[in-house]
Amino acid sequence: MNNRLYGNLIFELSHPGRRACSLPENRFGSYEVPDDMRRSQDAALPECDELTVVRHYTNHSANNFGVNNGFYPLGSCTMKYNPAINEEVAAMPEFANLHPLQPADTCRGALDVYDGLQRALSEISGLAKFTLNPFAGAHGELTGLMIIRTYHERRGDTRRTKVIVPDSAHGTNPASAAVCGLDVVQVKSTPEGIVDVDDLRSLLDDTVAAMMMTNPNTLGLFERNIPEIASLVHGCGALMYYDGANLNPMLGVCRPGDMGFDVMHINLHKTFSTPHGGGGPGAGPVGVRKGLEDLLPGESELSVGPYHGNFAVLLRAYAYILTLGREHIKEVGPLATLNANYIKESLKDVYELPIDKTCMHEFVFDGLKDKSTGVTTMDVAKRLLDYGYHAPTIYFPLLFHESLMVEPTESESKDTIDGFISVMRRIAEEAASEPETVRSAPHNTPIGRVDDVLAAKRPVVTYRQMEAGE
Ligand SMILES: *Cc1c(COP(=O)(O)O)cnc(C)c1O
């Protein structure tokens, strides 16, 4: 990888007249394209030889970081290994060439996959029925909230406009509620990081449509008061919504349906084998408890939306579930939990652990324990890049100033995890002995620190061709 040699933009490597192809002689005669359909100037395309093009893109691809080339302990988003065999299944032409409007009797196999996955998700979650339509977690939340809104409307209960969301929730929860036209009301967390039941009690009345919960919550903690919360919420006539974006710690341990949840979504692209990130493909199936099935998309005139979702993602999920099988899927939750707790316990003497409890699949540090060095969570995250690791989630959740959120996932070996622990300890030592090295990291990446604010507010995403004489 050498960006200086190969340039950053293919346009910068262009030489007028250089070609990567030669077309055979035209044997068909020529036709004049009418003037009004022609460009007045040639398209500004890069002109390069074949090997330059190949090297340019190959070297850029080597700058990508993914689960396939390194440890990726991103909290809240479950970046785990997704078996390559599932990619092969998803690419099979029999599946890949299906058309969404194809007659049902020409795609029985695909419909079997659809049914099988629906049933597997019901069994895993304890809910009666799933729609596989939604294309993402956030899309699932919106679908689920629309189902809840319709449920109330159908009962003539039109005053219910509020959705209660914990202050630790993922940002999509309040956003989905707002898009659904509902008002967001925040419920506080206790000092130990779970929903404050007393605060919740004070918010409940006959204007509440639903309570959204994430479990384990965004701090990686198990919400142990769910039975009480569910009975309070149901007692006031509202429904319980479960954000199951990251279901891996629950697999084989407990089921949202058994805890009193009415509606939930699952992110297949986090828990069930689809590589994600950068807005890549996803699926956020929504499940409902018995009695709400007819509100699912395509089920009745009350329901929303007709199609069958992001089928390639559904296929990968089904292949993954069948590969693990009923027996091995039960190991996912305990392993995800074990790995996270092992890292937490191995590092809590040098990183600040604000909530010192057994966590589930992830946990949050509040920066380095020794605050006197001036080394921030951002610096630690940047320094990790030098050692070949993807950074954990930083500055989220917003409950702490220096949040550093780690999720190792169930799929990493002990050696990999021990390697990460030793690098995190080394960075803590560097912060004390040579803080400037950490503060000015990264030193080994093609690009150092970028101006995040400028990049977010005024992103430059196109290349402006220099005009002649400029
Ligand atoms: C990722 C995530 C979401 C949103 O899922 P998308 O597929 O990104 O829309 C919602 N809630 C939680 C807890 C998540 O981790």
| 327 Cβ contact partners less than 8 Å away, ≥ 6 residues apart | none
Whether the CB of 360 sits within 6 Å of ligand 1: no
Whether the CB of 172 sits within 6 Å of ligand 1: yes
117 C-alpha to center of ligand 1: Å?
20
Average pLDDT over residues 405-432: 97
Q: Which two tokens stand for residue 248?
A: 């891996």
Query: By C-alpha distance, which of 373, 390, 368 is closest to 381?
Result: 390
Q: 118 and 127 in contact (C-beta within 8 Å)? A: no
Pocket residue to mutate for ligand 1, from 142, 170, 179, 409, most atoms within 8 A of Cβ: 170
CA 330 to chain centre: 22
Atom of ligand 1 nearest to the CA of 282: 7
CA 403/CA 191 separation, integer angstroms: 15
CA 446/CA 425 separation, integer angstroms: 25
Whether the CB of 189 sits within 6 Å of ligand 1: no
Q: Is the pLDDT of residue 95 over 50?
A: yes
Sequence length of the chain is: 470
In DSSP terms, which residues pair with 208 in a beta bridge? 162
Whether the CB of 170 sits within 6 Å of ligand 1: yes
Average pLDDT over residues 424-441: 98
Q: 439 and 380 in contact (C-beta within 8 Å)? A: no
- Reported confidence tier of residue 3, pLDDT bands at 50, 70, 90: very low
User: Using one digit for the tens of pLDDT, what is the confidence trace for 350-391?
Assistant: 999 999 999 999 999 999 999 999 999 999 999 999 999 999
DSSP H helical ranges for 366-413: 377-386
Q: 59 and 3 in contact (C-beta within 8 Å)? A: yes
Query: By C-alpha distance, which of 247, 271, 273 is closest to 261?
Result: 247
Average pLDDT over residues 194-208: 97
| CA nearest ligand 1 atom 14, residue | 245
Whether the CB of 136 sits within 6 Å of ligand 1: yes
A 10 A CB-CB count for 300 gives 10
Whether the CB of 245 sits within 6 Å of ligand 1: yes
Whether the CB of 76 sits within 6 Å of ligand 1: yes
CA 403/CA 364 separation, integer angstroms: 6
Q: 207 and 235 in contact (C-beta within 8 Å)? A: no
273 C-alpha to center of ligand 1: Å?
15
The mean pLDDT value of the chain amounts to 91
Q: Is the pLDDT of residue 280 over 80?
A: no
Q: Which two tokens stand for residue 428?
A: 């803590």
Helix/strand/coil for 184:
strand
Q: Is the pLDDT of residue 4 over 50?
A: no
| CA nearest ligand 1 atom 2, residue | 245
165 C-alpha to center of ligand 1: Å?
14
User: Using one digit for the tens of pLDDT, what is the confidence trace for 128-182?
Assistant: 999 999 999 999 999 999 999 999 999 999 999 999 999 889 999 999 999 999 9
Helix/strand/coil for 365:
strand
Atom of ligand 1 nearest to the CA of 269: 7
Atom of ligand 1 nearest to the CA of 246: 15
| CA nearest ligand 1 atom 8, residue | 137
Whether the CB of 216 sits within 6 Å of ligand 1: no
Q: Which long-range contacts (CB under 8 A, 24 or more apart) does 456-461 make?
A: none
Q: Which two tokens stand for residue 288?
A: 């409902």
Atom of ligand 1 nearest to the CA of 169: 13
| CA nearest ligand 1 atom 6, residue | 137
